[in-house]
Structures are given as structure tokens and as C-alpha cells.
Structure 1
Amino acid sequence: MTDIQYPISGSCQCGNVRYQLLSPPTKVMACHCKECQKLSTSAFSLTALVATESVIFEGELVQWERLAESGNKNYAKFCPTCGNRIYHFNPDQPDVIKLKAANLTDTRILQPDAHIWVSQKQDWYEIPAGVPQFDKQPV
């Protein structure tokens, strides 16, 4: 999408956490795992994989942690006021964050490059033809 202008701003629901995305994500994933369904309160969660240095955050963030089924560390940063999830990260991979980018002002970048954990997908949701899909987490 050549008409998208960076930086793109984003914020939590209450506005206490704000950020600027300085460059395009390397990949956008739609995750259908049960944990992401809980997180998004929807059929899947959208995540934009971005370089850590391509995002500037303002405001207080708190952290929550869990171990994923894959064994990866899944840490989350969110707003302590409204609870809106801002991003996930694995401390063992400090150069990449998983931005929960649905709170960007321009969401045109959120076209999934792949759908993951389709083994837990809601039966009623149809993945668009031609988009790669993986039963679990791709290697």
C-alpha cells in the first residue's frame, strides 16, 4: 500500500498510552488460538510484527506474562487505566514486538499475511482464499 504515510499514530482506549509507528510492519498475522480469542473477544486477534526501534511509546505501561503452548515467553504490555493491550513481546527476541495494531488511526495495514492456529478457528469464520494458513504456530 503505497499511499500509507508514516508515522501512524495509535493509542489505547483512554488515551493515556500513545505511540507512533515509524515504518511498515514486517508481517501481519491473524491468530485464531483460544488465548487470542479471549484477548480480542472476537474470532481472532490481529498482530503486526514490527522492529522494536520502529515504535515510540508515551505513557505508563504495565506488564503481564504467560508461557505459550510452544514454550515461548509471551509478555504483554497494556494500559493500567483502561486495560487496552498495546503489544506483546518475547524477551528472548528483543528486536521484534507484536503490536496489537487495531488501535492505530490508520488500520489499512492490517491485512493479514497469514492466519495461524487455524486448528482452533471458529467454524463460522471463512479465511479469504489465497492467504496462507497454519494449523499451529509456524516455525
Structure 2
Amino acid sequence: MTYPISGSCQCGQLTYQIKQAPLVVMACHCKECQKLSTSPFSVTAVFPTDAVEFQGELKEWTRPADSGNQNSAKFCPECGNRVYHFNPADLSSIKLKLKPTELEDDALFEPTAHVWVSEKQSWYQLPEGVTTFDKQPEIKK
């Protein structure tokens, strides 16, 4: 894989460059991600914050997570496309959870783990051999 990789929101107002491979790529099956993606799961690629550079305007929205932490999201104010999530109280980890969309090369973002499978849609069949977690695993830096 050659870096940087470019991506954008749906309308193109916000663009970004990914400078390195993600720490992990997960498919999240929690009810909140089902709402977010309007599909059975949402794909998230976890990066150190300095590995992704953004150009354009972002707005922020925050909700409480099941863990009791805050789950903040950055999104495009024009098209509403969710771009990434982060925990504002966890500044020691310095990582963001990118919702990879509109990429030049999407092969990098095949999930290696499926999380919150305790809430997955009953009709969705998990791929054979993929790592699964009933809830949210801790992501190491």
C-alpha cells in the first residue's frame, strides 16, 4: 500500500489524507452504528490522530456511550457525512476512529474484527475465521 491515501466526505467539501496503515479495522454491529450507517454495521478504521490530515470544515456532535464515556463525532456540515469518532476525555490515547469513505483505494479497509456482535442483525452471517467480540474491546495504541 502506498501512502498517503486520499478520501472525502460525500459532497467533497471535506477531504483528508491518510499517512499510514490503520491500527485496526473493525465492523461494529452495535445499535448506534446500525443507526449511523443505516445498515447492519459500520466500518471503523482506528488511527493515531497525527496519521490523518483533514482539509475543510467539520462540525461536532457528542453522545454518551454504553461504557459511560463520551463518544464525539466529527461530520461534514454540508452533507452530514460522519467522518470520525473520538473520546474527548481520553486524550492519552490520541486516536481517532475514521469512517473511511470515498477512498482512492478501499482494499485497506476490510474489517479484521467484528465488534458488538451481541447486537448484530440476526440475518447477517459473520465471515468465517474473523475475530469477533460480544462488546467493545480495548484498542491498544
TM over 0.5: yes
Query: Any gaps of 5 or more consecutive residues in structure 2?
Result: none
Question: In structure 2, the residue corresponding to 1:56 is in which secondary structure?
Answer: strand
Residue 42 of structure 1: how far off its partner (Å): 0.5
Question: In structure 2, the residue corresponding to 1:102 is in which secondary structure?
Answer: coil
Q: Match for residue 14 of structure 1? A: 11
2 CA distance for matches of 1:60 and 1:117? Answer: 31
Matches within 5 A, 1:16-35: 16-35=13-32
Q: Match for residue 64 of structure 1? A: 61
Q: 1:80 is aligned with what amino acid?
A: P
Residue 105 of structure 1: how far off its partner (Å): 2.2
2 CA distance for matches of 1:114 and 1:93? Answer: 22
Q: 1:37 is aligned with what amino acid?
A: Q
Residue 106 of structure 1: how far off its partner (Å): 1.3
Give 1:52's match in structure 2, choosing from 49, 53, 56: 49
Contact 1:102 1:110 in 2 (8 A): no
2 CA distance for matches of 1:120 and 1:102? Answer: 24
Q: 1:16-65: per-residue Cα shift (whole Å, max 9, x none)?
A: 00000000000001000010001001110000000100011000000000
Contact 2:9 2:101 in 1 (8 A): no
Q: Match for residue 100 of structure 1? A: 99
1 CA distance for matches of 2:68 and 2:102? Answer: 28
Query: Any gaps of 5 or more consecutive residues in structure 1?
Result: none
Matches within 5 A, 1:35-46: 35-46=32-43
Contact 2:8 2:101 in 1 (8 A): no
Q: Match for residue 128 of structure 1? A: 127
Residue-pair matches, total: 136
1 CA distance for matches of 2:127 and 2:85? Answer: 26
TM-score, scaled relative to structure 1:
0.94
2 CA distance for matches of 1:96 and 1:47? Answer: 12
Query: Superposition RMSD on alpha carbons, in Å?
Result: 1.0
Q: 1:100 is aligned with what amino acid?
A: K
Write out the 4+ residue segments of structure 1 that deviate beyond 6 Å after TM superposition: none
Residue 6 of structure 1: how far off its partner (Å): 0.8
Q: 1:90-115: per-residue Cα shift (whole Å, max 9, x none)?
A: 11233100000133221111111211
Contact 1:119 1:135 in 2 (8 A): yes
